[in-house]
Amino acid sequence: MKVTDHIHIKDDSRIPKYQQIVDGIIENISSGQLKIDDKIPSINALSEHFLLSRDTVEKAYNILKDRKVITSVKGKGFYITRTKLISKVNVLFLINKLSSYKMRIYNSFVSRLGGNSHTDLHIYHCDESLFLNLLTKNSMAYDYYVIMPHFKTSALHHISSTDEVLRALGKIPESKLIIMDNDLQQLPGTYAEVYQDFEGDIYTALTQGLEKIKNYRRIIMAYPARSVYPYPKRILHGFRRFCVENKLPFEVIDEIYDDTVMHDGDLFITIEESDLVSLVKQVRDKGMVLGEDIGIISYNDTPLKDLLGITVISTDFDQMGRSAAELILEKRVEKVKNPFRLIERESL
């Protein structure tokens, strides 16, 4: 028995022939005659059997492939991949590392996208080759690719690997790509984006609090430079620009240790939570008062920082996830800047 015997299409001149083929396959699936992983007739076989042009069958199969009902394997044939015909939106959410902030972005993204979707989260640990692996392995299998590009800023300036990343990203259809968090100036084309303007954001946020900041004698930023997960250098640039333009004495240190020297009138800007913790502990140990003797501005807000009265400069993580989801839901291709602001609390 030939495979083509399974397929039945009824000729109705009112509807296009390729549509009849599509409906025929769908019907054979829903009636249970075609099951998952079954092979369906080749283009040649079907076109000869029903006296159709090869092109017509090809068109029908392409529609089914776009709907992800069937998959094609070059040189072998077409195979049924899905029997449930509800079309879920599949998203690949690719992030460099898993922090509580990234987590909030992911969660708000998923909940805004709603139930008729599935998003896979993958983490590439700032590793270029792992990033490329994940992207090539999962290439073309998703409807959307939400990507946060953050890589190790190698001192050796490996042009090759950065180029490879850009080439891999270029292979993704622009309509399916959403760049998050870190905007890539080197990537050409018109794709969607929800970005932080790291340099400008910190500059304007600090400027907003300039009057209070002026009361401090020195500003010290704890910028984790030696971390395996680098933060954008532009944070530093923005901070420096703010200090220089306002003629404020400043300093940049790697980390806040238990014995980091601090004086009355110091204002600390912390990025890592661990630095914040050891800083607050030290301030308490020395009997100093936050917001009077020592000032703290922390990067990235959390509810518990609110309780602690820590002044923060922060982007809106939930908004970032929502924005990305809405770009997908509304099929918009825009570059959206995520809101960033200074939230003044007792520690400043």
Partner DNA sequence: ATTGCCGGGCCGGACAGTACAGGATAGGGA
Partner DNA sequence: TCCCTATCCTGTACTGTCCGGCCCGGCAAT
197 binds, among its own copies, DNA, none (CB under 5 to 8 A by kind): none
Chain contacts with its own copies (rule: CB under 8 A)? 12-16, 37, 39, 71, 73, 75-76, 79, 98-100, 103, 106-107, 110, 118, 120-123, 125, 130, 273-274, 277, 280-281, 302-308
Shortest Cβ distance from residue 246 to its own copies (Å)? 30
Counting Cα atoms < 13 Å in the Cβ hemisphere of 145 gives 24
**# binding residues, DNA (CB under 7 A):** 26
The torsion angles phi and psi of 299, rounded to 5 degrees, stand at: -85, 135
d(CA 268, CA 252): 10
State whether residue 123 is helix, strand or coil.
strand
337 and 199 Cβ atoms separated by less than 8 Å: no
23 binds DNA (CB under 7 A): no
With CB under 7 A as the contact rule, the residue among 6, 23, 38, 65 that binds DNA is 65
146 binds, among DNA, its own copies, none (CB under 5 to 8 A by kind): none
Strand stretches in the chain, DSSP E: 39-40, 70-73, 77-80, 89-95, 117-123, 144-147, 177-181, 192-195, 218-222, 250-253, 266-270, 294-299, 311-315, 335-337, 340-343
Shorter beta-carbon distance to DNA: residue 43 or 283: 43
Among the residue ranges 66-74, 135-143, 158-166, 290-298, the one whose residues contact DNA (CB under 7 A) = 66-74
Kindly give, in sequence order, each residue whose CB lies less than 8 Å from that of residue 97, ignoring residues fewer than 6 positions away: 123, 125, 126, 150, 229
Shortest Cβ distance from residue 233 to DNA (Å)? 40
Among the residue ranges 46-54, 104-112, 140-148, 264-272, the one whose residues contact DNA (CB under 7 A) = 46-54
Residues at the contact surface with DNA, assessed by CB under 7 A: 15-19, 42-45, 51-56, 58, 61-62, 65, 72-78
